[in-house]
Amino acid sequence: MNITKADVLSMTVPTPFAVGPVNCFLIKGDVLTLVDTGPRTPEAQRELNEQLKNHGYAFEDIEQVVLTHHHPDHIGLVGGMMERGVCVLGHWKNDRWLQMSDSFLKENDTFMTSIYREAGVADQYFNHARDAREYLAFTDRAKCDIHLSEGDAVPGCSEWTVMETPGHAQSHISLWHKETGTMIAGDHLIKKISSNPLLEPPYVKGTERPKPLIQQRDSYRKTLDAHLQYVYTGHGEPILNPDDLIKERLRKQEERSDKVALLLRKQPLTAFEVCKELFPGVYKKQMGLTLSETIGHLDYLESENVIVKKKDKEQTYYRYKL
């Protein structure tokens, strides 16, 4: 049985984002299932319609949509689908991003502002509120009809099991077809780029924030245990030797963490100072992504007992542990 040819159809639609086009998939189960939608742009809608047609389907044929995670390039068109009665499935952690309530957007902004302050980010790079607004403009308000979590069989596609793969996004799930070692991995695994672990506010206000790089490493290891053969990804081509790629991702993260440890051996630094060293040039344009990645490494080194952090007024300094 070759599931990669038989039951999954790939479609690629354009996005306005730097990452380039996004992949959406059609699973021909008992229920015709779309995995991810593309962003809310006329170009994406047109391309999706066109490619569905090439596969012998119309947009109206889609019965349910599974969301791998809440980023607009993956969920943008879901609001329109929901209005047409398409059933929406995803992890419950998508909900706050799908609902986009004013109070949550404010909470997210307050959270990121406190992260930036604590990291010692220079004032001119406090663009997170504007960036979030621009980013979220490519999606519609929606809600999940059915929540999926670890180990669930996807309704109507029961040979596909849900694997929670947080790190890149707290809401991230991948769909695993155990019999053939196939996975639809969203942005959990991408062949040409390593997806950023991204900071998000805690789900319960006042509790400790999630540590996305540590989560991502756990998700990588869990994926290794599945002994996959073939991985469909959210961007770019499928992965034929996923275990090699995952091991490479884990190794590269360790190398970058070693680099951070070396910097901190010389002197205590704020996260922003480490970020500038790790991503010279890039950080100015991509403060949110590069700072998330940097704090991810600092979280990791702290969890490994290599460094400690100390608050000094508003800022936090990281110090190498002797």
| Residues in a beta bridge with 270 | 317
The minimum distance between CB 50 and Zn ion, in angstroms, equals 24
**What distance in Å separates the CA atoms of residue 148 and residue 146, rounded to the nearest whole number?**
7
Residue by residue, DSSP assigns 192-235 as: SSPPPP-----SSTTSPPP-HHHHHHHHHHHHHHT--SEEE-SS
Closest CB to Zn ion: residue number? 71
Q: How far is the CB of 168 from Zn ion (least distance, A)?
A: 6
Six token digits for residue 90: 């995803």
70 touches Zn ion by CB under 5 A: no
Q: How far is the CB of 71 from Zn ion (least distance, A)?
A: 4
Please identify which residue in 140, 152, 187, 293 interacts with Zn ion, judged by CB under 5 A. 187
Stretch that binds Zn ion, among 64-72, 77-85, 89-97, 152-160 (CB under 5 A): 64-72
* β 157-164/173-177 pair status: antiparallel
Q: By CB under 5 A, how many residues form the interface with Zn ion?
A: 2
Of residues 140 and 187, the one with the C-beta less far from Zn ion: 187
User: Which is closer to Zn ion, CB of 39 or CB of 242?
Assistant: 39
Closest contact distance (angstroms) between CB of 196 and Zn ion is: 9
Q: How far is the CB of 42 from Zn ion (least distance, A)?
A: 21
71 contacts Zn ion (rule: CB under 5 A): yes
x/- binding map, residues 137-166, to Zn ion, per CB under 5 A?
Answer: ------------------------------
Do residues 88 and 283 touch, judged by C-beta distance below 8 A? no
Tell me whether residue 171 or residue 253 sits nearer to Zn ion (CB atom).
171
Distances (CA, A) of 12 to 5, 6, 157, 234, 266: 16, 18, 22, 9, 47
Instruction: Give the helix/strand (H/E) hosting 19.
Output: none
Q: Does 200 bind Zn ion (CB under 5 A)?
A: no
CA–CA distance, 308 with 296 (Å, rounded to integer): 14
Of residues 47 and 187, the one with the C-beta less far from Zn ion: 187
Would you say 122 or 193 has its CB closer to Zn ion? 193
> What is the rounded CA–CA span in Å between residue 138 and residue 95?
16
Spatial distance between the Cα atoms of 192 and 245, rounded to a whole number of angstroms: 10
Instruction: Reduce the DSSP state of residue 100 to 3 states and report it.
Output: coil
Q: Which is nearer to Zn ion, 71 or 177 (CB)?
A: 71
Of 71 and 96, the one with the shorter C-beta distance to Zn ion is 71
Interface ranges with Zn ion (CB under 5 A): 71, 187
